[in-house]
Amino acid sequence: MTKSSIINHKELKFFISKILKKAGLDNYSNKSVTTGLYEASLRGVDSHGVNLLYHYVYSAIKGRKNPKPKYKFYKSFPALGILDANNAFGHAAGMKAIDICMKIAKKFGVGVVAVKNSSHPGALASMVLKAARKNYMAFAFTHADSLMLSHNGKKPFFGTNPICFAAPRKEKDPFCIDMATSMISWNKLLNFRNKGKMVNNNLAADSEGKITRNPFKARSLLAAGMYKGYALASMVEVLCGVYTGMNFGTSIPAMYKYSMKKPRKLGQFYIVIKPNGAINLNSFLNRMQSLTSKVRKQKSRSKANKVMMPNDPEIINSKIRRLKGIPLDKETLKKLKNLSRNFNIPLVLN
């Protein structure tokens, strides 16, 4: 990376927020989307970080996303409800759902909120981490347009449909899993295209369902764990598409090819749980820390690669990027400079 393609993490967060304000987002939406994009870039999840800002801004301006949504929440049962997000930004809808879930869980021990009329929520980790930092366990699910190759098929039906979970522990950073049910996300494949790099084997397939390493020939992604990832994607589709009454499978409009003037009507699904249902909170936190420590102390095959818990690489990335700045690839830098010119917001690089 050249010096000009590194940005201080605080400058990046400031830039994102100022650009979103110019795009018309209300305060809650602005804070939610800024947090989601900033945290993803800080944690090294570049496929779902600031590289999406350009797309998000123009999806608000052109009408796909509602920058000032009017949420409606309906309780179906004491601990279960549906949030109509009014075509809000996915990050904002997700954060709102988590807020409601925590409020319900505080009273009933568990809170479940399904979201309808939403949009792409980026990396779900920001939503569940918000709950985990307040000593809740949290699950998050969302669906996406058809990009995962069906098991034994030639074409995709389900999306990369991610699964996310977080839990608190004694140390500051919670345990967290945030994974697509495909081997990689579509945005990661787009990053390969932007960088002109070949994809590793067994990640993507061409229009005939045959494995390809060429990111420009890729039309679908392979499921994680073969039929197991495919099965998990179908579960997420039930929760986010079927249950919410939203589009599902091949009826979901493509994120990048669909008209930016029309909402995509996506669903999300959240479960928040108080961790003191079986043991007290302090015991849970101690046992989570014990689990973490025992896994990290396992012997590795090589000194270069230690045994880690999920979220450890992202925690390490966050520490490094706070000190050294966040790298921007050529295409992302170009888009940010474009936004800077169009909205008259300075882009300060290291």
The string of pLDDT tens digits covering residues 77-87 is 999 999 999 99
Residue 108 or residue 1, greater confidence: 108
**pLDDT value at 3 more than 50:** no
Q: How confident is the model at residue 52 (pLDDT cuts 50, 70, 90)?
A: very high
Give yes or no for residue 8 having a pLDDT over 70. Answer: yes
**pLDDT tens-digit profile of 224-256?**
999 999 999 999 999 999 999 999 999 999 998
Decide: 270 and 115 in contact? Cβ < 8 Å.
yes
How do residues 264-312 score in pLDDT, each as one tens digit? 999 999 999 999 999 999 999 999 999 999 999 999 999 889 999 999 9
> Has residue 332 got a pLDDT over 60?
yes
Q: Where are the domains of the chain?
A: 3-182+223-280+312-343
Q: In this predicted structure, what is the pLDDT of residue 303?
A: 84
pLDDT of res. 2: 43
CA–CA separation, 96 vs 85, rounded Å? Answer: 9
Average per-residue pLDDT in the chain? 95
Helices then strands (H, E): number in the chain?
10, 12
Mark out the alpha helices in the chain (DSSP H runs): 9-22, 27-42, 53-61, 90-108, 125-132, 186-195, 227-237, 281-296, 312-324, 330-343
Q: Is the pLDDT of residue 4 over 60?
A: no
What is the maximum span of the chain, computed from C-alpha positions, in angstroms?
A: 55
Which CATH fold topology does 3-182+223-280+312-343 show? Answer: Ribosomal Protein S8; Chain: A, domain 1 (3.30.1370)
Predicted pLDDT at 88: 98
Is 70 exceeded by the pLDDT of residue 143? yes
Read off the amino acid at residue 245.
G
User: What is 234-262 written as a DSSP string?
Assistant: HHHHIIIIITTT---GGGSPPTTTS-TTS
